Amino acid sequence: MTAVPNSLAIDMYRRMQRIRQFEATASELLARGEIAGGLHTTTGQEAAIVGACLALTREDYMVGTHRSHGHPIGKGARLDRLMAELLARATGVNCGKGGSMHLSDFSVGSLGETSIVGSGFPIATGAALGSKMQKNGRVALCFFGDGASSEGTFHESLNIASIWKLPVIYFCENNGYAISTPAHETISVQDIAVRAAGYGMPGHVVDGQDVLAVYAVTHDAVERARAGQGPTLIEAKTYRFQEHAAGLKIGEYRREEEIQRWQARDPIQLFRRELVEKHVLSAEHLDAIDREVAAEINQAVEFGLNSPHPQPHDAYDHVFVDPLLPLEEVR
């Protein structure tokens, strides 16, 4: 077990449980009709998210993907405002306008998450450039999926980040599938991390179900970035336990034995077992954390459902120009 303070180990477990329970509850709300639109869960990928996010400070930047609830939770965002956002309420992190796939929470450095595959690369790279120019010491962490590694933005961003030695970590959550297409059918290499060599940066493959291993490799990349040594590409081998999107039935593209094999490596259960065996925390203590998180989730749902919906005129807030203003006032 990688040596980390007990307080950090507890935080890791708590944040992974927050993601797991948040996703399960959000799926239930979707089935009840309380949440509209697509809902892409990160169930099974909690260790990759939390291990990477906890290697950062609260002030560091983070960019997510369309599978977007786990990333801000891993970064420390408030659960009540995240749940309110999914429920399209005015108290949400984006005032109910972003929904499930377009979250941002600047209070924890979460710069945004979109449904456009590969769109996060330029944003994270730009944030890292801004950090370098301002000399504020902040690092940018860019999450992306295996499919995004074949986008043009991947090449452009990694190339310029390497040339300018930008403080950015490109973190691939390789869960093996682009919706229903296996990664090996669309990617020319077995490990996406080997592509780092083409940009003159370090590339690392890590077990995405091992939160401590993810934390260790990301921590080293963060320290390297802060020291002015440039970007790093990390690939976490992980797996999504649920469908591409909650309630979406695509067909038989995964074998049942494959799903069961990965579920046997549930990142939360693996970490829980390790914490108990190493006498870091007792099973009773971990059970108590589970109950505390369940209470947090219940409070978040209550907060969201009791919050007001945005009003029609709110659509013109947070835009460059209010089209309802008189032309003279706009000028």
Mean pLDDT, rounded, for 152-181: 96
pLDDT in tens, 275-322: 999 999 999 999 999 999 999 999 999 999 999 999 988 888 888 777
State the pairing for strand pair 177-178/181-182: antiparallel
The token pair that represents 77 in the structure block: 């965002």
CA distance 111 to 72: 10
Residues 255-274 have a mean pLDDT of 96
User: What is the average per-residue pLDDT within 33-58?
Assistant: 96
Q: Please give the average per-residue pLDDT across 93-106, as a whole number.
A: 92
Contact 139, 171 (CB under 8 A): no
Residues in the chain: 331
> What are the tens digits of pLDDT across the range 185-244?
999 999 999 999 999 999 999 999 999 999 999 999 999 999 999 999 999 999 999 999
pLDDT for the residue numbered 297: 98
DSSP string, 121-188: HHHHHHHHHHHHHHT----EEEEEEGGGGGSHHHHHHHHHHHHTT-SEEEEEEE-SEETTEEGGGT-S
Instruction: For 12-39, write each residue's pLDDT tens digit.
Output: 999 999 999 999 999 999 999 999 988 9
Q: Is the pLDDT of residue 327 over 70?
A: no
The type of residue at 156 is E
What is the per-residue pLDDT for 331?
A: 56
Band of residue 329 on the pLDDT scale cut at 50, 70, 90 = low
Contact between residue 100 and residue 89 where contact means Cβ atoms under 8 Å apart: no
CB 214 within 8 A of CB 51: yes
Give percent above pLDDT 90 in the chain: 86
Mean pLDDT of 147-161: 96
pLDDT value for 325 = 66
At residue 109, does pLDDT exceed 70? yes
Mean pLDDT, the chain, rounded, equals 94
pTM reported for the whole predicted model? 0.94
Q: What is the pLDDT of residue 12?
A: 98
How many Cα atoms within 13 Å fall on the side-chain side of residue 189? 14
Report which of residues 1 and 17 the model is more confident about: 17
The predicted structure's pLDDT at residue 313: 83
Q: Which residues 6+ apart lie within 8 Å of 101 measured at CB?
A: 37, 38, 40, 66, 68, 113, 114, 115
pLDDT band at 249 (very low <50, low <70, confident <90, very high): confident
Of 44-58, 74-88, 216-230, 314-328, least confident by mean pLDDT is: 314-328
Query: Where is 327: in which H helix or E strand?
Result: helix 327-330
